[in-house]
Amino acid sequence: MEENKVQKEQREEVHKRRVRYKGTHPRKYSEKYKEHNPDKYGDTIEKVISKGSTPAGMHISICVQEILDFLQIKPGMKGLDATLGYGGHSRRMLECLEGNGHLYGLDVDPIEIEKTKKRLEDLGYGEEIFTAIHQNFADVDRVAKEYGLFDFLLADLGVSSMQIDNPERGFSYKNEGPLDLRLNPMVGISAAERLREVTTEELTWMLIDNADEPYAKEIARKIIEKRRKGKTVETTTQLATLIEETLSFIPEKERKDAVKKCCARVFQALRIDVNSEFEMLDAFLQKLPDVMAPGGRIAILTFHSGEDRLVKKAFKEMKREGIYSEIATDVIRPSAEECIRNPRARSTKMRWAIKK
């Protein structure tokens, strides 16, 4: 009897049952087991993707073939994925190395980088060929100083779907959660804290500069007006509700779509601000030439006009100065088929440069 009891305990230790939840489907994000381990549910993933959606808890890489065609990765090369994210691009780049060479991956997010490192390790990409580094890509010069110059480099400037899908991170107006929006929740102040201190004029220009928000003045006034009455915006849904109230003057048949688009722009503007994204991107672009080996190839994916302008301007200036031998004269966009399969790809622009 004693032996059977020990064996039972050992079996339970090896196979831990999933935590039970009320009802037929989990409601809390912490209980959604598929979202936390999407790779284990291949049938579900394919079903969701075939409907033009991104499975919760994972990220679909964009312009993969276009990136690989340009980077021309060969075994023995050294490369950098400056924005590791879910690791989809890294996985394909590692395949190109065929076990010979090395890829380094940077990510400012301390939560997702550990998950991605484990994900790639499970696929057979250990420390002998892949190194994950918790670092903002604005400090790419420090990485090159320690590991040497790179033959190829990718920077995907989009926010990962895993961050958007997790309500605890506060990236989406669609789910209730703290209004945070920081890529690294251990550094800086949250979007909610930012809204407690910003002036009407500062907020107006933030919304215009970071997201071309047409209702910037109205939204800024509404937020500051509420704050003066002692009502601060602390959650994602509180901000979404405030935006809906602000746009109540729009005809009803047009309002729902206008509110949805406005929410997306306002959340984008706040995310860019609390993470100093334009400043970080500018620092990254200025340091890029010094981390690339002669002939090194750079590919950058942008997702809105502000980012694309910065990349285009930096590449043009450095081409004129003779730093880059070639740059993209036109942006490369994902195919129509890819946009149908992954609607989040629609705003993507790819630019490239080659170090002289």
Q: Per the structure block, which two tokens stand in for 201?
A: 């004029």
**Whose structure tokens read 């991170």?**
169
Could you state, in order of their start, the residue ranges of all structural domains in the chain?
2-50, 185-274
pLDDT for the residue numbered 37: 52
> What's at 234, amino acid-wise?
E
Give pLDDT tens digits along the chain (356 positions). Answer: 455 555 555 554 444 555 555 655 555 544 544 454 555 544 544 444 444 444 444 558 999 999 999 999 999 999 999 999 999 999 999 999 999 999 999 999 998 899 999 999 999 999 999 999 999 999 999 999 999 999 999 999 988 777 677 778 877 888 899 999 999 999 999 999 999 999 999 999 999 999 999 999 999 999 999 999 999 999 999 999 999 999 999 999 999 999 999 999 999 999 999 999 999 999 999 999 999 999 999 999 999 889 999 999 999 999 999 999 999 999 999 999 999 988 889 999 999 999 99
Cα dihedral across residues 26, 31, 33, 38: positive or negative:
positive
CATH 1.10.150 for the 185-274 domain, yes or no? yes
pLDDT for the residue numbered 203: 97
pLDDT for the residue numbered 173: 86
pLDDT for the residue numbered 42: 47
pLDDT for the residue numbered 18: 54
DSSP 233: -
CB 132 within 8 A of CB 100: no
- SS3 label, residue 2: helix
| DSSP-assigned letters across all residues of 16-72 | PPPPP-SSSS--SGGG-HHHHSGGG-HHHHHHHHHTT-PPTT----SSHHHHHHHH-
pLDDT for the residue numbered 43: 53
User: Is pTM, for the whole model, over 0.85?
Assistant: no
